[in-house]
Amino acid sequence: MPVLQVRSHALTYGPDLRITELKAPESARPGEPILVTAKVCNTGTDPANPSGSNVLQVYLSTTPTQQVPLPGSPPSTAQMTLGEVDVGPLGAGQCIGRSLTVPASPPAGFTGNGAYYLGAIIDTGQRVMETDESNNGFVRGLMGVGYRPDLVVTRLDGPASLSPGQSFTATATVCNVGTEAASYGSVELHLSTVNSLSLPTGPVPPATQFMVAGQGISGLLAGACRAVSLTGVAHPPPAATWNAPLYLGALADASNSVLELREDNNTFVRGLVGFGQGPDLVVRSVTGPASVRMGGAFTASATVCNDGTAPSMSSDVAVFLSSVPSLGAPGTMPRPATEVPVGNVSAPPLAAGQCVTRAVSGSA
C-alpha cells in the first residue's frame, strides 16, 4: 500500500478520546475535598481499548494552556495534579461519566487566595493509539481557592423594551459563590451598546455603557443568593444611536469594595432590549398537533405580541413546517429549502404590551 494511503487510513480510522464536560464547585478552601465530574467520549470510529489503565487526571493550573508531561516526566510547576481515575475502555461513539473527590490543592506559589484554571486530561499514560492526540485535554475555567467571598450575578429580569426617560424596574439575582460571607456589597444596572460590561477604572465610564440604577446589598453568606430589585430611568449611553436596541446588564461590586476570590466574574449581560419609540412584534408561541399525515389538513395557533413601546399596525403571520429548528428571516426570498409554508393569517393592530392568538389552517 502506498505511504500516503497508509497515513490517510491512520488519520481516518481509530479511537479518539475527548473530555466534553467538567463539573466542579465554583470555589473551595485550600485542601478542601471537592467533587469533580468529567464526561469522556470516544468520538472516533473504533473502540478505545487501552493497553493498561485509561487514566483521567484532574488538575489546577495558573494558566489556561495545558501542560501535558510525557510519561515518566515531572509535571509542570504551573500545574498541580489533584487526583486521577481509571475510565476504562470506551466503544466508538460511547460517552461515560466519571466522578472523583479530590483536594483543592493549588500549584506552587499560592499565597492564601487566588483563582486557578480547573482542567482534566484523558489517557495521560498514552495507552490508547488515537487518531488525534492533541485533543485529550479540557479546561473548564477559573476556580477560586482561598478564604474570601465571590459575588456574581446569575440572572437578570427586566422589560423587553424601553422608552428614553422611562422609569422601570429590573431584578438581579446576586450570589456569593465564594467560601466566606460577604458583609456588604452592591449591584448596578447598566445599558450598553455592546454585549459586554466593563468595570469602572476611572471617573469617566466607557462611552458604550451607562449606569441606570444601583442598590446596596447587606450580608450574603457563602453559597447564598438574593433577588435584588433595582428601579431606574432608561438613559442611553453616549455611544448609542436613536431607536437602536441596547444590552441590559448588571455589575456586582462595581465599586470594587469587596475583596473577592475572583474579580473577573462580576459582570452579567442579559441580552438586547428595544430602546426608543416603536413597536416590536414577536411570536410568543406556536402550537399544533404532535403528528400529521403527509398532505393531511391541520390547524396551528400562533400568539403574537407587541413587546415594543408604541402601537403596531396590522401584520401578516405566516406558519411553516421546517426540517430544522430555525426559520429564515422575514422577507427572505426564495425561502430556504428546509421550509414549507402552511398558511397565513392577519394580526390586528396591537397596543404596546398587547398579545393576540390566531389560528392558521393548512396541510402538511
Which distant-in-sequence residues (6+ apart) come within 8 Å of 261 by Cβ?
27, 113, 114, 115, 144, 145, 146, 148, 149, 150, 178, 179
Mean pLDDT, residues 10-27 taken together: 90
Task: Round to whole Å and give the CA distance between 355 and 364.
Answer: 27
Q: Are residues 18 and 108 in the same domain?
A: yes
Domain end, chosen from 145, 167, 182, is at 145
Q: Are residues 168 and 83 in the same domain?
A: no
Residue 7: helix, strand or coil by DSSP? helix
State how beta strands 167-176 and 225-233 pair: antiparallel
Q: How many structural domains is the chain composed of?
A: 3
The sign of the CA dihedral 153, 159, 164, 166 is: negative
Domain holding 358: CATH number?
2.60.40.10
Question: What whole-number percentage of the chain has pLDDT above 70?
Answer: 96
Q: Are residues 41 and 128 in the same domain?
A: yes
Residue 89: give the domain boundaries.
3-145
- Give the residue from 329, 327, 359, 332 showing the smallest Cα distance to 345: 359
Taking CA atoms, 82 is separated from 61, 113, 219, in Å, by: 10, 18, 33
Domain end, chosen from 111, 145, 179, is at 145
Q: Are residues 22 and 77 in the same domain?
A: yes
Which distant-in-sequence residues (6+ apart) come within 8 Å of 204 by Cβ?
none
Q: Are residues 16 and 130 in the same domain?
A: yes
Q: Are residues 270 and 291 in the same domain?
A: no
User: 116-170 pLDDT, tens per residue?
Assistant: 999 999 998 889 999 998 999 999 999 999 999 999 999 999 999 999 999 999 9
DSSP assignment of 277-296, as one string?
SS--EEEEEEE--S---TT-
- Give the residue from 329, 285, 305, 303 showing the smallest Cα distance to 160: 305
User: 82-126 pLDDT, tens per residue?
Assistant: 999 999 999 999 999 999 999 999 999 999 999 999 999 999 888
| For residue 77, pLDDT beyond 80 | yes
Confidence of residue 69 (pLDDT cuts 50, 70, 90): low
Q: Are residues 82 and 171 in the same domain?
A: no
Please give the grid coordinates belonging to residue 263.
474579580
Mean pLDDT, residues 293-312 taken together: 95
Q: Are residues 135 and 41 in the same domain?
A: yes
Task: Round to whole Å and give the CA distance between 46 and 216.
Answer: 57
Domain end, chosen from 275, 300, 322, is at 275
Taking CA atoms, 46 is separated from 6, 91, 123, 128, in Å, by: 17, 7, 16, 11
Q: Are residues 287 and 230 in the same domain?
A: no
- Give the residue from 129, 102, 132, 131 showing the smallest Cα distance to 118: 102
- Give the residue from 174, 173, 181, 146 showing the smallest Cα distance to 258: 181
In this prediction the pTM is: 0.87
Q: Are residues 255 and 239 in the same domain?
A: yes
Contact of 21 with 140, CB cutoff 8 Å? no
- Give the residue from 341, 360, 182, 197 showing the smallest Cα distance to 270: 197
User: 26-62 pLDDT, tens per residue?
Assistant: 999 999 999 999 999 999 999 999 888 999 999 999 9
| For residue 4, pLDDT beyond 60 | no
Q: Are residues 7 and 137 in the same domain?
A: yes
User: For residue 269, with 0-12 CB atoms within 10 Å meaning exposed, 13-18 middle and 19 or more buried, which class applies?
Assistant: middle
Task: Round to whole Å and give the CA distance between 151 and 264.
Answer: 10
Task: Round to whole Å and give the CA distance between 131 and 232.
Answer: 56
Q: Are residues 343 and 233 in the same domain?
A: no
